[in-house]
Chains A and B, each alone.
Chain A
Amino acid sequence: GDSVTQTEGLVTLTKGLPVMLNCTYQTTYSPFLFWYVQHLNEAPKLLLKSSTDNKRTEHQGFYATLHKSSSSFHLQKSSVQLSDSALYFCALSDRTGNYKYVFGAGTRLKVIA
């Protein structure tokens, strides 16, 4: 079946440093890939979305590139801020009309001063 793998459970960084959160996936179809962010005691909300191979998508200083050759959609930011501390989920869905989603387990990013 379809799956999304996020290898890091917790990433702790000092503010101002760059970050990359890993996301790889397995699917038999051509998917949409997403990053959702969940701040403490809040609902998850969309951060980034892509379906185009090798095209960089950016929002709020975060960026990701879908690479179908390696089935990856890593999330990056050049300089993290304290407010970036949150839980980040990678997810995929298909485009056939069955809008079932598959989420990764999530990566908690903790930014310290």
Chain B
Amino acid sequence: EAAVTQSPRNKVAVTGGKVTLSCNQTNNHNNMYWYRQDTGHGLRLIHYSYGAGSTEKGDIPDGYKASRPSQENFSLILELATPSQTSVYFCASGDRQNTLYFGAGTRLSVL
């Protein structure tokens, strides 16, 4: 079974603080993705990666950075968190048949 693990599962941050969301996959998939999920918007792509060392901007990258130091790890970084970034964040890896495998999600609240 494909495995994508996110940490932390829940996070409360202060406005202006730095937040790092981590994602680890044991699937050996090249492609990894960060999405946020908000009611009425579905899943929106923030950043994605084709492999170690690569990061690409998705549809809503403003205010976010990404890092892919290895095949297994893909982080999402909020350098200066804002209340508008309160959301549920999902990491996913994608196989060669384009199927996405999602992590359990991180619920982030920025106060």
Interface residues, chain A, with chain B CB atoms under 8 Å away = 9, 32, 34, 36, 42-46, 49, 89, 91, 93, 95, 99-101, 103-106
Contact = CB atoms under 8 A, between A and B. Distances in A.
Sort chain B's interface into a size bin. 20 to 34
B98 A42 contact: no
Contact of B42 (A32, A49, A95, A106): A106
Nearest to B99: A46
B98 A105 contact: no
B31 interface: yes
- What is the interface of chain B mostly: helix, strand, loop, or mixed? strand
Interface string B35-65: 1000011111100101000000010000000
B84 interface: no
Given A43-B90, A43-B104, A100-B58, A49 B99 contact: yes
Nearest to B102: A43
Interface string B52-81: 000000100000000000000000000000
Contacts of A32: 98
A99 to B, nearest CB: 5
Contacts of B58: 100
A100 B45 contact: yes
Interface string B82-111: 000000001000100111111111000000
17 contacts: A34-B98, A43-B102, A43-B103, A43-B104, A43-B105, A46-B100, A49-B98, A49-B99, A93-B98, A99-B48, A99-B50, A99-B98, A100-B48, A100-B58, A103-B44, A104-B42, A105-B40
